[in-house]
């Protein structure tokens, strides 16, 4: 008796264990969740980005809020006059404190309005109360600043023996501070007007180059009567040039932006020293 012996198919091999243990899978998932997405926000702990965002908030308020522009203009005039009138440290501290209070109140008012407008689209009496109270806080801060300005400016402006020009010539340090303040503020205003870059990085003009060349021009003018004035001016110019070169080499600014900053800083310093020096 013949019979065909059927071969049994080979049994499939047992499934191999997964190449990645469960512990490794969890570790990989954790690294994936902690990994920042490309194009996302920078790491929250970055100090540079924190300052950049803060300055962007200041620039936004200056660019969009008319009251903030008025406050800043009055603050610059008050600070410059305080330095030129040779205020004491206590008087300058009171003036700076009053100015800061007004600016901070205006910025909180703007932030509150933006946050409320992003959530509430219709009229609500409580929203009106919140906005009115925030605006009232700005008014109180402004009234406080006016009162402090009256107390600190009155004695200096009514003194018949006060000579503003002579005081400035005797204290060029104050004039240098004025030059640097005006230069930095003008650089920020120009960046806000052009909408290029951030207050601390990029944009037209370069604020670092403007401040560096303003300092070079101020040092050159002040050191003119000295014996080695040419050497002092050359060293200051080389330092300003190194600052400008570092901005270009780092790819933060272009050569045109750095040159614009140098022209701005030098022009502001020469103009102020010609008027008051």
Q: pLDDT tens, 9-68?
A: 556 555 555 555 555 555 554 554 454 444 444 555 567 677 778 878 888 888 888 888
SS3 sequence, 30-46? HHHHHCCCCCCCCCCCC
CA dihedral 218, 256, 198, 186 (to 10 degrees): 40
Residues 138 and 204 in one domain: no
Say if residue 168's pLDDT is above 70.
no
Considering 136, 162, 188, which residue would you say is the last residue of a domain? Answer: 162
Considering 114, 141, 162, which residue would you say is the last residue of a domain? Answer: 162
Considering 143, 162, 181, which residue would you say is the last residue of a domain? Answer: 162
Say if residue 174's pLDDT is above 90.
no
**Which of 115, 145, 137 lies closest to 127, judged by CA?**
115
Average pLDDT of the chain, as a whole number: 78
Q: Which residues form the domain of 276?
A: 164-277
Which residues carry out catalysis? 106
Q: Specify whether the CB–CB gap between 268 and 212 falls below 8 A.
A: no
Residue 32 confidence (pLDDT): 46
Residue 67 confidence (pLDDT): 87
Number of domains forming the structure of the chain: 2
Structure tokens at 233: 């001016």
**Which of 221, 223, 234, 230 lies closest to 271, judged by CA?**
221
103: confidence class by pLDDT, cuts 50, 70, 90: very high
**Secondary structure class of 120 (helix, strand, coil):** coil
What predicted TM-score, i.e. pTM, was given to this entire model? 0.56
Structure tokens at 155: 């004695």
Q: Which residues contact 192 (CB under 8 A, 6 or more apart)?
A: 59, 62, 63
- Domain presence at residue 10: no
């Amino acid at each position: 008796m013949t019979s065909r012996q059927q071969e049994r198919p080979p049994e499939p091999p047992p499934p191999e264990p997964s190449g990645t243990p469960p512990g490794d899978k969890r570790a990989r998932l954790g690294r994936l969740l902690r990994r920042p997405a490309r194009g996302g926000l920078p790491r929250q702990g970055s100090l540079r980005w924190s300052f950049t965002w803060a300055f962007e908030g200041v620039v936004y308020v200056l660019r969009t809020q008319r009251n903030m522009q008025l406050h800043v203009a009055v603050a610059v005039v008050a600070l410059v006059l305080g330095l030129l009138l040779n205020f004491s440290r206590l008087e300058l501290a009171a003036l700076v404190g009053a100015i800061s209070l007004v600016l901070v109140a205006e910025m909180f008012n703007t932030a509150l309005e933006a946050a409320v407008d992003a959530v509430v689209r219709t009229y609500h009496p409580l929203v009106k109360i919140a906005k009115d109270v925030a605006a009232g806080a700005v008014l109180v801060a402004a009234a406080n600043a006016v009162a402090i300005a009256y107390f600190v400016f009155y004695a200096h402006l009514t003194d018949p023996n006060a000579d503003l020009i002579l005081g400035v010539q005797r204290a060029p340090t104050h004039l240098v501070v004025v030059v640097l303040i005006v230069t930095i503020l003008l650089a920020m205003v120009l960046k806000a007007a052009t909408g290029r870059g951030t207050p601390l990085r990029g944009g037209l003009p370069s604020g670092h180059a403007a401040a560096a060349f303003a300092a070079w021009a101020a040092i050159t003018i002040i050191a003119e009567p000295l014996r080695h004035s040419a050497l002092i001016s050359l060293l200051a110019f080389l330092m300003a040039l190194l600052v400008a070169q570092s901005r270009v080499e780092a790819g933060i600014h272009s050569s045109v932006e750095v040159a614009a900053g140098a022209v701005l800083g030098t022009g502001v310093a020469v103009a102020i020293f010609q008027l008051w020096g």
